[in-house]
């Protein structure tokens, strides 16, 4: 029995769930059996989430989260230092890790001490260039489709089907297809060497009754509590221009994290340890004085504290 297991790690709002759907749909359209599903903790923009796709040439009896993936898609590289998300946990020997980063595979390998096959591509930049947004679902689904060996035609049809069920704007749909095909061709073809993965039979588990802290650990770890600093969730950070700010405090009131403070002169300033980069403040500023800057290089020292 052929069985490939792909695990996506992203942040709420990046499109990990839809990426797994794009991959599963492409596999289905190519004649395989497929499963795709997400796992959330508390639904919160920027919070770590995972999504899963199984692809097989026979009906899939296996259920539940994928603990031993053949392929891991890391949609936000700061998750590689996240002690709750643990995106590389259980990756099979010979498996492939894709990382959304401007770094080369060698740079990523050195920074994160990764042993497996690594592929990198700056999906966020490609998405900003083509779609002018940071929802990289189609792009992440596309690189996963390339890694598992699906065809361009199946990917294109899958993006068309999945994205058209979410958006009605034909321009956005066409740009999603364009971005997905760009990424599909931008990464090299790889050989998945997880021999045990393609031979493994589906297994049936006996599920014992467990306390919620064990059976739903994603909801019970510090990953969703006030103890967790969310500053490494950002793709963009808000930046203030005090010359144009009129001190109306609307940004302060709208921040869902309560992390915009006010200094003695009445100007807002942000606690970057907790700002998760949702950019609601940027949207809401009536004077349009708030700007944004992309966080390309996360600081390793702050990630250690956050993880």
Binding site for ligand SF4 (CB under 6 A): 238, 240, 245-251, 255, 257, 259-260, 268, 270, 275-281, 285, 287, 289-290
Q: How far is the CB of 240 from ligand SF4 (least distance, A)?
A: 6
CA atoms of 127 and 133, how far apart (whole Å): 6
Q: How many other C-beta atoms lie within 10 A of the C-beta of residue 107?
A: 13
The nearer residue to ligand SF4, 48 or 87, going by C-beta atoms, is 48
Q: How far is the CB of 50 from ligand SF4 (least distance, A)?
A: 22
Residue 36 · residue 52 · CB < 8 Å: yes
Q: How far is the CB of 45 from ligand SF4 (least distance, A)?
A: 8
Q: How far is the CB of 155 from ligand SF4 (least distance, A)?
A: 33
Q: Is 272 helix (H, G, I), strand (E, B) or coil?
A: coil
Tell me the Cα Rg of the chain. 20
The nearer residue to ligand SF4, 151 or 249, going by C-beta atoms, is 249
Q: How far is the CB of 222 from ligand SF4 (least distance, A)?
A: 19
The nearer residue to ligand SF4, 140 or 251, going by C-beta atoms, is 251
CA atoms of 56 and 239, how far apart (whole Å): 47
The nearer residue to ligand SF4, 27 or 278, going by C-beta atoms, is 278
Q: How far is the CB of 170 from ligand SF4 (least distance, A)?
A: 30
Which helix (H) or strand (E) element contains residue 33? strand 33-39
The nearer residue to ligand SF4, 88 or 251, going by C-beta atoms, is 251
With both helix axes pointing from N to C terminus, report the angle between 170-186 and 137-148 in degrees, rounded to the nearest 10.
Answer: 40
The nearer residue to ligand SF4, 39 or 250, going by C-beta atoms, is 250
Which has the closest alpha carbon to 53: 14, 109, 7? 7
* b/e map 247-277, b = 16+ CB within 10 Å: eeeebbeebebebbeeeeeeebebeeebbbb
């Amino acid at each position: 029995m052929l069985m490939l297991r792909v695990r996506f790690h992203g942040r709420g709002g990046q499109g990990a769930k839809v990426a797994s759907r794009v991959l599963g749909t492409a596999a289905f359209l190519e004649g395989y059996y497929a499963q795709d599903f997400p796992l959330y903790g508390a639904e919160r923009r920027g919070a770590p989430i995972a999504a899963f796709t199984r692809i097989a040439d026979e009906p899939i009896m296996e259920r539940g989260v994928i603990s031993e993936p053949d392929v891991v898609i890391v949609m936000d590289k700061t998750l590689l230092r996240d002690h709750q998300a643990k995106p590389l946990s259980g990756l099979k020997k010979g498996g492939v890790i894709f990382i959304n980063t401007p770094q080369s595979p060698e740079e990523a390998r050195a920074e994160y001490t990764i042993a497996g096959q690594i592929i990198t591509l700056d999906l966020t930049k490609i998405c900003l260039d083509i779609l002018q947004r940071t929802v990289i679902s189609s792009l992440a689904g596309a690189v996963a489709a390339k890694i598992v060996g699906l065809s361009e035609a199946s990917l294109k049809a899958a993006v068309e089907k999945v994205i058209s069920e979410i958006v009605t704007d034909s321009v956005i749909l066409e740009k999603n297809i364009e971005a997905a095909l760009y990424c599909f061709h931008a990464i090299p073809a790889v050989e998945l060497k997880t021999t045990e993965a393609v031979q493994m039979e589906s297994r049936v588990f006996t599920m014992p009754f467990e306390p919620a802290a064990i059976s739903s650990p994603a909801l019970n770890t510090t990953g969703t509590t006030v103890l967790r600093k969310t500053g490494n969730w950002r793709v963009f950070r808000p930046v203030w221009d005090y010359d144009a700010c009129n001190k109306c405090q609307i940004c302060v009131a709208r921040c869902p994290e309560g992390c915009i403070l006010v200094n003695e002169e009445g100007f807002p300033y942000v606690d970057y340890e907790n700002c998760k980069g949702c950019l609601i403040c940027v949207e809401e500023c009536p004077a349009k004085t708030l700007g944004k800057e992309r966080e390309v290089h996360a600081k390793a020292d702050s990630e250690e504290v956050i993880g």
